[in-house]
Structures are given as structure tokens and as C-alpha cells.
């Protein structure tokens, strides 16, 4: 048996197990993600994120959901990757560029008295063309009628490197659903044939022009306390449908994120997300000799 060091971190309650994979890495990261994510028989997390070497950025983020499936991007996770890399490298560089499956992202660490208290991520421009999100339809999907579970919803589709379906609600009834009812609803969206690569679904109640309340179902993980890319997608959808201004606070079950879809300047069109990156604890987990391979 061998020991694999890990760090448990979260952003607004969206928690992952982080492993530095610069020398050795899991032979089957998906299987390890399923094992470690179990909240009764493992560490407990929404998935596994590895910090890997990169030839084009400061570090590479490799992400696996709780069910073992590969994820392209995680907004809360990338803030934690940046903090962990920043601290492990001795704080030599800020901002940090993190390579992801949907391209490089720049993250500026927020420091107070030399301590990391959060980060701002340039998430890039949203993808709005249907086939590129992807959904099974051409053009933009804005307040689009979609039948799910025998009921018609108006959905807005956005990709922030991963696919999102944003559903605006008129009251807080969806926030009162129990875990099982919400899971049934979330799975109906996630596995709908309209979304060929499955989808993350955000239910959004606009509270004001600069405030949105959100409950989220993430593909591969189920309901989570927060979803950074989902909060960004919700803000973009709210602007596209005339429900919000360009900057807003998104209230998630695990905390708040500040989202801006920038309108002017050199980063016009990019979405910026600001939030916490919290270390919970560190530890080691036993793995079999065959479960680790050389990172090279």
C-alpha cells in the first residue's frame, strides 16, 4: 500500500478533494474520484481535482465529478486550485494562469495581510451558439420552450466551458423542494435528449437587478451547495433575458458569488467571478501500489 496526500477545499460549499499530481498520479482518476467522494465511506466531496504540470500555464487543472465522469471546468474548483498552487509555490506569482479542458484561465488572488481570502477568475466569454454548448438546436437558446417531465419550461442555454441550462422561476417553490424531489427534477434535465452531453441546471429567482437566488443540479455530482460556472451562466442568462444588470450577487446555498459580465474595456464580453477559496483540512489516503503511476 502507498499513501496519497490530499487537501480538502471548498468554494461556497462546493467541495473537492485536491491532489498534487506532479510526480505520481492516479492510474484511474475516475475510480478514485468515486471512492473519495463518497460522504459515508470516503472523504466526502463533489469530486476530485488534480493539480498537474503544464507546459503552457502555471498549473493544469484536471477534474472528475463524484460519479467518476470527467468535467471540463469548475468555477469554484479553479479558485481553490489557484490558491493551493499559489501557496505551494511560495506566492511567487499573482495572478496565476490555470490550464483547463476549456482553455487557460487567469486567476487573481485576493490577499489581506499576506493571507489568501479569495480570488477573481476571468472565465472568458460565454458560448451562446446552441450546437457549441451543446444542445440539439441551432442558434441561441434564450427563453426557449422545452418540455421536461411533462411540463413546459422556458430555458436559456449557456456554456462556460461546460453546458448549462438556466431556468428562471417566479417564486421560491423550487427552493422548498426536499432533496428527493429536487433530485428527480434535476435528473430529468440532466438526461434530457436535448442535451447530448448532459447538462448542469440552474433554477434562478431574480430578487433585484443586481441579485439572483440560485439552486443548482450538477451533472455527475447531483445537487451541490454552489456552482461557479453555473452562477456565471445564470448572470449571462439574466442579462440576455433582461432580468439583471451586468453585475450581480448570486446567492447560492453555500454562500455568495460576485459575477460581472463585462461590457466595456479590454476584457469586454468576458465573465468575471469573485469568491472564496477555503482550505478545510489535509491528510493522506491509502491506495494500492497499482493505483498510482508516474506523472511523466
Of residues 234 and 91, more confidently modeled: 234
How much is the pLDDT for 2? Answer: 93
**Where exactly does CATH 3.10.310.10 map onto the chain?**
2-123+277-294, 130-269
What's the CATH architecture for 130-269?
Roll (3.10)
66, 49 in Cβ contact below 8 A? no
Residues in the chain: 296
How much is the pLDDT for 113? Answer: 86
Q: Above 90 in pLDDT, residue 216?
A: yes
Beta-sheet pairing, 247-252 with 255-261: antiparallel
What is the rounded distance in angstroms from the CA atom of residue 40 to the CA atom of residue 205?
Answer: 33
| Confidence at 34, pLDDT banded by 50, 70, 90 | very high
Scored b (16 or more CB within 10 A) or e, 141-165 reads beebebebeeeebebbbbbbbbbbb
CATH H superfamily, domain 2-123+277-294: Diaminopimelate Epimerase; Chain A, domain 1 (3.10.310.10)
Which residues have a Cβ under 8 Å from the Cβ of 12 and sit 6 or more positions away?
76, 225, 226, 228, 252, 254, 255, 256, 257, 275, 276
What percent of the chain is modeled with pLDDT above 90?
A: 96
Q: At what angle are helices 75-88 and 228-240 packed, to 10 degrees?
A: 130
What is the rounded distance in angstroms from the CA atom of residue 267 to the CA atom of residue 259?
Answer: 14
Strand extents, DSSP E, 219-267: 222-224, 247-252, 255-261
| Confidence at 114, pLDDT banded by 50, 70, 90 | confident
How much is the pLDDT for 35? Answer: 97
How much is the pLDDT for 149? Answer: 96
How much is the pLDDT for 127? Answer: 98
Report residue 228: phi and psi, to 5°: -65, -45
How much is the pLDDT for 19? Answer: 98
| Confidence at 260, pLDDT banded by 50, 70, 90 | very high
Looking at the DSSP bridge assignments, the partners of residue 146 are: 153
| Confidence at 52, pLDDT banded by 50, 70, 90 | very high
Scored b (16 or more CB within 10 A) or e, 281-290 reads eeeebebeee
Neighbours of 166 (CB within 10 A): 29
For the stretch 121-168, pLDDT in tens is: 999 999 999 999 999 999 999 999 999 999 999 999 999 999 999 999
Q: Above 90 in pLDDT, residue 206?
A: yes
What percent of the chain is modeled with pLDDT above 70?
A: 100
Average pLDDT for 80-98: 96
How much is the pLDDT for 296? Answer: 76
User: Whole-number mean pLDDT of the chain?
Assistant: 97
Judge whether 227 counts as a catalytic residue: yes
What is the rounded distance in angstroms from the CA atom of residue 196 to the CA atom of residue 131?
Answer: 10
Active-site option among 12, 80, 227, 232: 227
- Nearest Cα to Cα of residue 200 among 172, 233, 177, 168: 233
Average pLDDT for 20-25: 95
pTM as predicted: 0.93
Judge whether 165 counts as a catalytic residue: no
Neighbours of 108 (CB within 10 A): 16
Active-site option among 12, 74, 80, 232: 74
How much is the pLDDT for 1? Answer: 87
Amino acid at each position: 500500500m502507498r499513501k496519497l496526500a490530499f487537501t480538502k477545499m471548498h468554494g461556497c460549499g462546493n467541495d473537492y478533494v485536491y491532489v498534487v499530481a506532479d510526480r505520481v498520479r492516479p492510474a484511474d482518476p475516475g475510480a478514485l474520484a468515486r471512492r473519495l467522494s463518497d460522504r459515508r465511506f470516503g472523504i466526502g466531496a463533489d469530486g476530485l481535482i488534480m493539480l498537474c504540470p503544464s507546459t503552457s500555464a502555471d498549473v493544469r487543472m484536471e477534474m472528475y465529478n463524484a460519479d467518476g465522469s470527467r468535467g471540463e471546468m469548475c468555477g469554484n474548483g479553479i479558485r481553490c486550485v489557484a490558491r493551493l498552487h499559489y501557496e505551494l509555490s511560495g506566492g511567487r506569482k499573482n495572478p496565476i494562469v490555470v490550464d483547463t479542458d476549456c482553455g487557460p484561465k487567469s486567476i487573481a488572488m485576493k490577499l489581506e495581510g499576506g493571507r489568501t481570502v479569495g480570488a477573481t477568475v476571468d472565465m472568458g466569454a460565454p458560448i451562446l451558439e446552441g450546437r457549441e454548448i451543446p444542445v440539439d438546436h441551432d442558434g441561441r437558446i434564450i427563453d426557449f420552450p422545452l418540455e421536461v417531465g411533462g411540463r413546459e419550461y422556458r430555458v436559456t442555454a449557456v456554456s462556460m466551458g461546460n453546458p448549462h441550462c438556466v431556468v428562471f422561476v417566479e417564486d421560491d417553490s423550487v427552493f422548498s423542494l426536499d432533496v428527493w424531489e429536487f433530485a428527480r427534477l434535476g435528473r430529468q434535465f440532466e438526461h434530457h435528449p436535448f442535451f447530448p452531453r448532459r447538462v448542469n441546471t440552474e433554477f434562478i429567482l431574480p430578487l433585484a437587478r443586481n441579485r439572483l437566488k440560485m439552486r443548482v443540479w450538477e451533472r455527475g455530482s447531483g445537487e451541490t451547495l454552489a456552482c461557479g460556472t453555473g452562477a456565471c451562466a445564470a448572470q449571462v442568462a439574466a442579462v440576455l433575458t433582461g432580468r439583471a444588470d451586468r453585475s450581480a450577487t448570486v446567492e447560492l446555498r453555500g454562500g455568495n458569488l460576485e459575477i460581472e459580465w463585462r461590457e466595456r474595456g479590454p476584457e469586454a464580453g468576458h465573465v468575471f467571478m469573485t469568491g472564496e477559496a477555503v482550505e478545510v483540512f489535509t491528510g493522506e489516503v491509502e491506495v494500492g501500489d497499482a493505483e498510482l503511476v508516474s506523472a511523466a
